[in-house]
Amino acid sequence: MEQGVKTKKTVFCLVGLTGSGKSFVASKLAELFQCEVINIGDIVRSFTDKPLELKDSPKLAKAIFKRVDKEFERKNNVVLDGIRETYLLKEIKKKYTAFVIAIVASDSTRFIRYAERECISDLLHGLDGYQEFLAKTKEEKLIGVEECMKVADCVIENN
């Protein structure tokens, strides 16, 4: 690289409902760009087990920015796995060069992935498990996942 030429630092923001395949895509991006994945859910859980409590939270944004800035000291890219609210996405786009990727999959595909990931084989065979999954999906929509998906720079269908 020529001396004095700066490489653009990019935050890849992955949005999508539970079971859509965000973590799979995150791992492929991290491999491709030789960068780290920051799981937003892990940061949220460090504050609370009730994600709706952190809606529009400057505290959450600050914690994420701290992690991203730390990664940018070492690498030119970082992947944020699991952006779920528009406030956070807007704040990220204000501060960084961001490329937003929406990951979509059918409800049936997402449900099977969710049940397998949670190691709950009973979920696959019962109405209660599917109702639990639908309730989780509804909560994600309340937080703003679908709104984030609408402003994505690209969409990956992952069925």
- Residues near 31 by Cβ (< 8 Å), separated by ≥ 6? none
Write phi, then psi, for 154 (nearest 5 degrees): -155, 160
- Between 40-47 and 58-72, two packed helices, what is the crossing angle to 10 degrees? 130
Instruction: State how far Cα 88 lies from the chain centre.
Output: 11
Sign of CA dihedral 149, 23, 157, 95: positive
| 117: amino acid identity, one letter | R
Mean pLDDT of all residues in the chain? 87
* pLDDT per residue as tens digits for the range 89-136: 999 999 999 999 999 999 999 998 988 887 665 555 555 778 888 888
Sign of torsion, CA 106 108 113 118?
positive
- The mean per-residue pLDDT over the stretch 35-58 comes to 80
Query: What does the domain layout of the chain look like in residue ranges?
Result: 10-157
CATH code given to domain 10-157: 3.40.50.300
The reply to whether the predicted model has a pTM over 0.75 is yes
